[in-house]
Amino acid sequence: MNINFNSIATLLVIAIFISFSAPLTVGVTYSLKKEDQRIKTELANFQKTIFDSLEDSLKEALLNLEPTQIENAAQLVIHDQRIVSIKVYSSLYGMTLANLKKNRELKQNQLLIQKREIKINDEQLGYIEIAIDNTYHDTTSFHARRNIIFLFAGMFICGIALIYPIIYFIIIKPTKRLMLQAKNLSAGDMNSSFKWQGNDELSELGNILEKMRRELKLYFLQIKKLAVTDELTQIPNRRAFLNDAQEALSLSERYDRPLTIALMDIDHFKEVNDTYGHDMGDKILQDVANLITDMTRSTDIFARYGGEEFIICMPETDMNEAKIVTEKIREGIQNHNFAHEQTLTSSIGLSTKSTNRNLVALIQEADQAMYKAKKSGRNCVKIYSRD
């Protein structure tokens, strides 16, 4: 697994991990030291208790030389599993009165040998020497240390187990989602929406990006519309026509269906501009565009091709059907009452798909047929003939 140390989420997890583990480490160290002190104090108290108990029991016995009583007192103490041997020596008589040992083999460094003198009124009666099994306390200390470490390790694991899901769902997951949202925007993907709930900063940032996406999408749609729409007539322009007509021609070829192109020109339109002005000419072009739009089907591709020229691509339409449609359009233009209250006519050329699969060639053929209509006196429909 690759860890990105430049990620804010990763740095935050590391910071929380350190801030969480640091006090636990201090707590473990402090607890271990306190446990060591407790073990040492316990050992010291144990030694003092044993020596005090024996000293009280042995003073009179040492003074009166009562070996049996001395040995009985030592026997009571040596039953403790921590004690390995007890030796009682009488200074008055210069002899060992008790020397009890357990059958336990221990190395010298595993024994803690302590010695205490016994006195009465500053008169030395002898001494007590006790050997204590140091491994017992080491084992006790080890188990205590292990339990402390296990306790703090459990606390650390439980803490991480509780904190990590919170960090993941509140910080890491939303951050990754924000990154994906930003990458989609930078790649120009305006269709992938992201819904954000909550009042935290990451959710607010996500909502800002989502608002930006919607606004950019609206702007792009407007720009796209401007790029393919004729500004004056608000119908598709030449660029849009060429794209859509090429797709229609491809479908026509694939399924072997008829398709016809009609190119038309408003007769003597220059005279309209010269006589009535360009504003009137623009109004007439808008009227012509609206008139033809009402007379074409939703499946037809109608556009302003340039100047006073308009073009129609009619899928699923053979030459005979196209002739009928364009004659109605011609008559509609001729009979329409335009703003300058003068009659307008149009010349229309038709070209149908045959073996020619080139859209540009079809348009050129329709253009030739249109000029043929102009030469024939205008206000008519002519068909391009390949003969």
Question: Which residues are catalytically annotated?
Answer: 308
- Full strand arrangement of the beta sheet holding 309-315: 301-306, 309-315, 259-266, 346-352, 381-383
Q: Which helix (H) or strand (E) holds 326?
A: helix 319-335
DSSP assignment of 114-136 equals EEEEEEETTEEEEEEEEEEEHHH
Distance from C-alpha of 67 to C-alpha of 58, rounded to nearest angstrom: 10
Q: Count other Cβ atoms within 10 Å, centred on residue 13.
A: 19
- Give the angle subtended at the CA of 242 by the CAs of 224 and 356, to the nearest 5°: 160
Q: How are beta strands 309-315 and 301-306 bridged, if at all? A: antiparallel
In b/e form, how buried is each residue of 188-200, taking b as 16+ CB within 10 angstroms? eebeeeeebeeee
